[in-house]
Structure formats: structure tokens, C-alpha cells
Amino acid sequence: MAAPKRQALGRGLSALLKETENVKSAKDANADKLVGAIAEIEISKIVENPFQPRTKFDEEAIRELSISIKELGVIQPITVRKTADSSFQIISGERRFRASKLAGKTAIPAYIRLADDQTMLEMALVENIQREELDAIEIALSYQRLIEECKLTQEAMSDRVGKKRSTISNYLRLLKLQPIVQAGLRDKMISMGHARAIINIEDQEAQLGLYEEAIAKAYSVRQLEEAVRRIKEGSSAKAKSNTNELKPRYTEIRDVLSDHLNSQVNLSRNTRGKGKIVIPFKNDEDFERILSLLTK
């Protein structure tokens, strides 16, 4: 199925800079128009972070990402800091930046930060989440930024935005969808209910196949949930015979850990009570984040 055409994220940088040309810090006039904004920034104006902890990048993975960016654009904007000479330094998203260059892009959507804007950013993101016109992925990205950039836990976010932790967790899980499925949700090809059903399938290729099937057959949410159930039952039938279904107590513990750590925790247990808990992490920063939550 052809990927839906994406509209560019954010406003043009030139228009934004006219209003914020002299903004250097969060204390300056018009800083609130810059902090948390998404702008299409020319790649030539962006410089790599000299303090980037990652020194090696998987070139094949970047090539694959560049193909996705050619088809869909950048689903999740990078984050940059405005410097004194009005160029921009990457804070996060260097893989997306490199892949965009490889894809021949001349501009990339980016969140803009200032050196001392932490409190202002948190306020801007919380206010942003309250806007009615945001799509589900935009809300999920705002929650993710509150976790990663403002160092808020899901409990703290729940207090800030007046949403249940389970609601926040459901939005964050959407970011684990295959990129084309995310784009389809943004473009209203599927609903939030459809997306929440698809996310129960971990394999992203299977997610994409289910997404295409749901559109082709005009599945309702209930029909899609039934298709997911059939897929999962088929997978279970292929599992080893000594694999046991977790008791409710263990699944509850697994789900609580997943929500608390914002990571898909895996828990297994055999008939003798022996098992293991696996907590995946994306990079060194994610590892430190999870470690800090575990040692509180």
C-alpha cells in the first residue's frame, strides 16, 4: 500500500526568526514563541553536538532510516539548541539528522531549545498537551519530551496535565508503532482504538501487515482486535510446550513495571517457579534513566 503523503511539520524558520531574532535566553522577550516550537530548519544551519556520547553509528541502520524518511518524512522531530550566531546545535536526533542528509533533504523539523529554558519548556509542553487539535502522535511526543528533556516521571506528569497514568502510558506506547502506522494514525487513516489494538503485536512488519489489512477491509476496532487475537493465538500455538501462561499476579507486576519504567518489560516463569525479568533499553541515556528509577 502506498504510504500517505505527509505534510511538513512546523512552520518555516524564517517567519519564526523574524519574531525571535534577538532571543538568546528564556528571559528575553518573545522567548515563549521559540521554546517548544517546531520549525523546518535548513540542514546547512545545523551543527553536530561535539559532546555526542555515541561515537559509532550503524551505517546500514541509517541507510534504512533514510529510505523511510524519503517516503514519510521525519516522523519525530530532532531537538536543537539555538546558538549565539543563530545556527543550531543538535541535542538529540543525530541519527535522524544523518539519515535526512543521506535522503537528500535540505531541511528537517526540529524542536528548538534555549540554554536556560527548562521551566518554560515544561510549561509549554503541558499547555501544548491540552490543545484539542493535536493528534495522538503529537500528544505522545509531548509526553516523551516531558520524560526525556524535563525528567518528569509518569506520576509527576499525571499531576501536571490532569490525566491518569494509564492514559499517559497508552499514548507513549503509540511511539512503538511502525513508522507508517504512526503516519496513518496522524493522517486519520486509522483511529486511536485501531492503533491501540495494533500495538499489541510487537513485530513491526506484522504491525504493518495488520494496518494494511485493516484499511483494505475497513475493519472496525472490534474486528481488528479479533484479528490481533487470532495472530497472538497462532504465535502461542508455536511456542514451546513447557511455556506457561503467567498468573494474573505476575502479569500485573510486569505491567506495573512497564508503566513505571516506560519500557516493555518481559517476565517469564516456568512450572517450578524459576524465571527472569528482562528490561530493554535503547541507549546509554535510557539505561541511566531506567537505573535511576530502579534505585529510587
Q: What secondary structure does DSSP assign to the chain, as a single string?
A: -PPPPPPPPSEEHHHHHHHHTT--STTSTTHHHHTT-EEEEEGGGEE--TT-S-----HHHHHHHHHHHHHH--SS-EEEEE-TTS-EEEEE-HHHHHHHHHTT-SEEEEEEE-TT-HHHHHHHHHHHHT-TT--HHHHHHHHHHHHHTS---HHHHHHHHT--HHHHHHHHHGGGS-HHHHHHHHTTSS-HHHHHHHTT---HHHHHHHHHHHHHTT--HHHHHHHHHHHHHHHHHHS-TT--PPPHHHHHHHHHHHHHHTS--EEEE-TTS-EEEE---SSHHHHHHHHHHHT-
pLDDT tens-place string over residues 107-127? 999 888 776 667 767 777 787
Higher pLDDT, 69 or 245: 69
Partnered with residue 40 across adjacent β-strands are 12, 109
The closest alpha carbon to 73, from 138, 12, 3, belongs to: 3
pLDDT over 90 (residue 240): no
pLDDT over 80 (residue 238): no
The closest alpha carbon to 111, from 151, 81, 147, 72, belongs to: 81
Task: Identify the burial level of 269 via C-beta atoms within 10 angstroms of its C-beta, where 0-12 means exposed, 13-18 middle and 19 or more buried.
Answer: middle
pLDDT over 60 (residue 230): yes
State the average pLDDT for the chain: 81
The closest alpha carbon to 25, from 110, 117, 111, belongs to: 117
The answer to whether residue 127 is catalytic is no
Higher pLDDT, 189 or 234: 189
Which of the four pLDDT bands, split at 50, 70 and 90, describes residue 54?
A: low
- Least confident range of 88-97, 129-138, 171-180: 129-138
Which of the four pLDDT bands, split at 50, 70 and 90, describes residue 242?
A: very low
Q: What is the mean pLDDT of residues 244-268?
A: 80
Residue-level pLDDT at 243: 46
Tell me the residue type at 58.
Answer: D
Which of the four pLDDT bands, split at 50, 70 and 90, describes residue 228?
A: very high
First to last CA, the chain: 47
- Least confident range of 169-173, 225-229, 238-242: 238-242
Q: Kind of pairing, strands 38-42 and 11-12?
A: parallel
pLDDT tens-place string over residues 192-227? 999 999 999 988 889 999 999 999 999 999 999 999
Q: Cell numbers at residue 140, please?
A: 505522545
Q: Cell numbers at residue 265, please?
A: 518489560
Q: What percent of the chain has pLDDT over 90?
A: 25
Higher pLDDT, 93 or 31: 93
CA dihedral 211, 286, 252, 230 (to 10 degrees): 20
pLDDT tens-place string over residues 264-284? 888 888 777 788 888 888 888
Give the CATH number of domain 11-175. 3.90.1530.30
- Would you tell me how many other CB atoms lie within 10 Å of the CB of residue 230? 10
- Would you tell me how many other CB atoms lie within 10 Å of the CB of residue 47? 12
Catalytic residue (choose from 94, 138, 148, 212): 94
C-alpha to C-alpha distance for 81 and 274, rounded to whole angstroms: 48
